[in-house]
Amino acid sequence: MENLQSFAPLLLMFVVVYMFMIRPQMKRQKQEKSFAKELKKGDKVITKSGLHGKILELYDDGTCVIESGAGKMKYERSAISMEMSAKLNAPPVTKK
């Protein structure tokens, strides 16, 4: 019984770390993977480095061609920012 009580704080700390750090990170990775799979030609996107453009081609090897003001460039799908692209494609908010 005493051994169990000495491990209780350690076990509780692991549960808290899992619930507040590990689990949300896993959920975010799953969302980003799903976002990258759902990209299609014509989508307006922003890369994590800040490049704005439109998707011209999608390839099975996980890359895509993005057209921007600088021309056409090939990027990994994982380089496209899910959050910034979602804000770019969100409908404008009208003030009343």
Q: Please report, in tens digits, the pLDDT of each residue of the chain (96 residues total).
A: 677 788 888 889 999 999 999 999 999 999 999 998 899 999 999 999 999 999 999 999 999 999 999 899 999 999 999 999 888 877 777 776
What is this structure's pTM? 0.71
- Cα angle: 77, vertex 80, 84; to 5 degrees: 155
What is residue 66's predicted lDDT score, i.e. its pLDDT? 96
In single-letter form, the type of residue at position 49 comes to: S
> Which strands make up the sheet holding 63-68, listed edge to edge?
44-46, 52-58, 63-68, 71-76
Which tokens in the block code for residue 85? Answer: 């692209």
